[in-house]
Amino acid sequence: MGKIVITGMGAVTPVGIGVDNYYNSLLEGKSGIDKIRSFDTSELAVQIAGEIKDFNPSDYLPKDVVRKTDAFMQYAYIAAEEALNQSELEIEPERTGIIMGTAMSGISTIAFTQEALTGASHKKVGPRFIPKILGNIAAANIAIAHNIQGPSFTVSTACSSGGDAIYQAAMLLNAGKADVMLAVGAESAHCPIFIYSLANAKALSRNNDNPQKASRPFDEARDGFVIGEGGGALILETEEHAKKRGAKIYGELIACGNTSDAYHVTAPHPEGKGAIACMKQALSEGGLKPEDIGYINAHGTSTPKGDEVETHAVMEVFGENTPLVSSTKGATGHMMGAGGITEVISCIKAIETGILPPTINLENPIPDCSIDFIANEPRKADIRYAMSNAFGFGGQNSSVIVGKYEG
């Protein structure tokens, strides 16, 4: 098969809706993390998150779609609309497919529905409950709206779901099953049960008094990640199809890696073996050397152990050729399935603009580390290839490499 190219992008994030708003906010060092406003957190140990700000779904979606969808589905739908509009694609139904990536699906709808049901004198659950919580219904709503009849799969590989959605879309294109694939990732898991569990696991930052400084990737003072939410979407096409229709091409999907630690359900392998193998696999698939990569958008969640392991893994793979690295989770929080795609978008924009997003809140980097984490200010750099890492519970590892399109 020939090249796979990117012809459309869409983003819904805590720092902005729309790709340009999202990326400009990253470059400006804005934080989307604040006190949670969508429900009462007064009894919770963790009261902060990266929420989508001032969001009225009716401003973006048809009323019937708003009524029958969970928030994560709405974010997926909006991101997909932006990507499709940007691509100016005339959909060929049977040759267009969709891959959805989400870690938690409709957990918030499940949690709040059960809370309302418990103790209620009139126990009634609406007929839309089941389709609002299923991960694949996000893709189904997009497919129905645009008559997408080709391959449709939903990927749930924890926090690497978005990256793996891109990988599966690429495999389908390479197999000749479609000419165009829409890869979407979305998440909205802001609810007490989710926060309670992660807080009790000591995975979350408890810096409730200073939320915008709470997510501190690769900083010595990091004390856990901050939950984020949102959606991201990419239009992937075979080069032949894109050129035939005269599409604007924003970048090339060079290669993907996917490995498993086979070590622990929540902790990364202490030597980063799975992450190392994943990055090496992506480089090998793309026919690239470590020195070819100019930028890495790191997984960088701001957890004490996770950031340390990823730092070791990057240094092991790249050695003296370690590229510039940053984590945009300091700004957005950990968007889980959505982040795997929005962070790839940040790599595409970095290549396009020649300006790399910073790691905000980074004051004292991990010691004994030679990596330049682009602390607090964006960096100008002319790069040809960039890598995005996404690592998840269960030892899931995803690495996606994108590059400048040279047709």
Which of 381, 352, 399, 357 is CA-nearest to residue 294?
381
- The answer to whether the beta carbons of residues 83 and 98 sit under 8 Å apart is no
**Whole-angstrom Cα distance, residue 394 to residue 366?**
25
Report the DSSP beta bridge partners of residue 45. none
The percent helix, strand, coil of the chain (3-state, each to 5) is: 40, 25, 40
Identify the active-site residue in 190, 191, 334, 347. Answer: 334
299 classed as catalytic: yes
For residue 229, CA distances in Å to 114, 214, 265, 367, 383 come to 21, 16, 22, 31, 29
Q: Of residues 159, 191, 278, 347, which has the active-site annotation?
A: 159
Under a CB-based contact definition with an 8 Å cutoff, are residues 393 and 265 in contact? yes
How far is it, in rounded angstroms, from Cα 169 to Cα 183? 6
Give dist(CA 271, CA 136) in Å, integer: 35
CA distances from 116 to 43, 110, 195 (A): 18, 10, 18
List the catalytic residue out of 146, 299, 312, 369: 299
Catalytic residue IDs: 159, 299, 334
